[in-house]
Amino acid sequence: MLEVQKKSFASHVRELQDRITQELLSLDPSIKLIEDPWTRKDFAGDEGGGGITRVFTGDLIENAGVNTSLIYGKVDPLFSQKIGGSGEVWATGISLIIHPRNPKAPTVHANFRLLSPGSEDYWFGGGADLTPFYPAEEDFHHFHQQWKEACSPYGCYEWMKKECDEYFVNHHRSSERGREMRGIGGIFFDNFRGPQKDIETDTQMVKHLSEYFIPSYFPILKKNIALPYDDEDEDFQLHRRGRYVEFNLLHDRGTLFGLKTNGRTDSIFVSLPARAKFTYCYAPKKGSAHEKMMEYYYPHNW
């Protein structure tokens, strides 16, 4: 049973990768797409699967990465111990990040993955979170509403929303105001098995959730991608992208895990924005839309 579901989830993420690729290509005709298929040797030096890195750069989409992988075989004994397994691993997933050039169009990140430590065990991880740079509250409602709807058959919205608010935090930027997030949240889950611990049910659930990525984000992207903006809008965006870099390099478990396990640095770093700014004691202008935006980087009820 496990084998059937693993294959089914693996082909789902590949197919989702193709659909998101099509969305990006049709949105921004200027896009240059680099596709880098890679293969992996396992810990014993045997064939160990691989992946497809897709990197996009264009006039509207400044940089984006939409990656899938399917890896298997022997793993480092220390890592195997950590995942409670038999010395083997089987894992597949999709991971993506989209950084539009226009500061009025939000950055987004999502991933959905299945890992099995070489036995009947398995767990899912994933989620999606939005990083806007302009306070268009109706868009924020749209994004969160979609994930609420996605979660509603499973009653998982409350805790997945909370996990997201707690995960994407720049702890070193926290203050008396609270815990500053890199964006405005979404949903997040890790080491997940459903209450019935039934892989067929859980595969269906995570496939179902992943289907909400395109409708949660692309309508917002299309609506804002051509809006006029000025230097101040861009300056705020570039500074918030600086915070994005801080989060990814200081706190993101996936990034640090990937680097520590000798992952392919350039594939891991497709998550970084093409340009970023850092300024001592940066703060947006008093009374500006950007100052208002800052308030959304703390947990809200949507």
Q: Which residues bind its own copies (CB under 8 A)?
A: 34, 55, 57, 63, 65, 172-173, 238, 242, 245-246, 249-250, 259, 265-266, 269-270, 272-281
CA pair distance 178, 274, nearest whole angstrom: 29
| Helix, strand, or coil (residue 5) | helix
With respect to its own copies, which residue has the nearer C-beta, 259 or 294? Answer: 259
Could you give the strand order of the β-sheet that contains 186-192, starting from the edge strand earlier in sequence?
Answer: 32-41, 47-57, 61-74, 88-100, 107-116, 123-131, 186-192
Q: How far is the CB of 147 from its own copies (least distance, A)?
A: 28
Q: How far is the CB of 221 from its own copies (least distance, A)?
A: 20
CA pair distance 92, 1, nearest whole angstrom: 17
With respect to its own copies, which residue has the nearer C-beta, 207 or 275? Answer: 275
With respect to its own copies, which residue has the nearer C-beta, 191 or 262? Answer: 262
Is 207 within 8 Å of 12 (Cβ atoms)?
yes
With respect to its own copies, which residue has the nearer C-beta, 175 or 196? Answer: 175
CB atoms within 10 A of CB 32: 10
With respect to its own copies, which residue has the nearer C-beta, 227 or 250? Answer: 250
Q: How far is the CB of 57 from its own copies (least distance, A)?
A: 8
Marked catalytic residue, from 109, 142, 144, 239:
109
Distances (CA, A) of 54 to 17, 50, 97: 9, 13, 11
For 31-45, the three-class secondary structure string (H helix, E strand, C coil) is CEEEEEEEEEECCCC
Q: How far is the CB of 263 from its own copies (least distance, A)?
A: 9
Find, among 136, 105, 109, the residue nearest to 27 by Cα.
105
Find, among 248, 263, 278, the residue nearest to 168 by Cα.
248
Q: How far is the CB of 20 from its own copies (least distance, A)?
A: 17
Residues 6+ away with beta carbon under 8 Å from 297: 180, 181, 182, 183, 184
Mark whether 109 is an active-site residue: yes
The single-letter code of the amino acid at 86 is S
Residues catalogued as catalytic: 109
